[in-house]
Structure 1
Amino acid sequence: MDQTQESPENTEATLELPALTAADRCDICGAQAFIRVVLATGDLVFCGHHGTANKEKLKPIAITWQDETDKLSA
């Protein structure tokens, strides 16, 4: 299982996050979450659709972007 965790260039370390499970639900629609965004104020989890839709806004302020959308094609 390949997980992609990206950190902004201004962050020195990447957080080691647990894999998302079927119990993790999108904060917008309640579908299974495949993307976790760690912000200074807390975590957000999204389905692939809503993660992609919000990436442009959230990526600049994210501490870590955990993308497990590769599970969708497995």
Structure 2
Amino acid sequence: MTTTAALTRLDRCDGCSAAAAHLVVLPEGELMFCGHHARKHGARLRELGAIVIPEGSAVDPTTAIEEGP
């Protein structure tokens, strides 16, 4: 099954007040990050098993998305 990360302009980064651009899915729950915070914390989040979904991306929720540093 493929879904789309549907962030709106009302969704805000959990690290600051910027618009959310990435949805981060962890076993414990979800976080939303702006581009800056997604890049800053992305490597560590993936080490923890997070799925990092850029805004508007078509994703298969059963697989993790690999992003560069």
Normalised by the length of structure 2, the TM-score is 0.68
Quick one: which amino acid aligns to residue 18 of structure 2? A
Which residue of structure 1 lines up, in the alignment, with residue 48 of structure 2? 61
CA distance in 2, matches of 1:61, 1:16: 22
Identical residues among aligned pairs (%): 39
- Structure 2 unaligned segments of length 5 or more: list them: 57-69
Which residue is equivalent to 1:9?
none
Structure 1: 5+ residue stretches without partners: 1-13, 70-74
More helix by share: 1
RMSD between aligned alpha carbons? 2.5
Instruction: Name the counterpart of 1:21.
Output: 8
- TM-score with structure 1 setting the length: 0.64
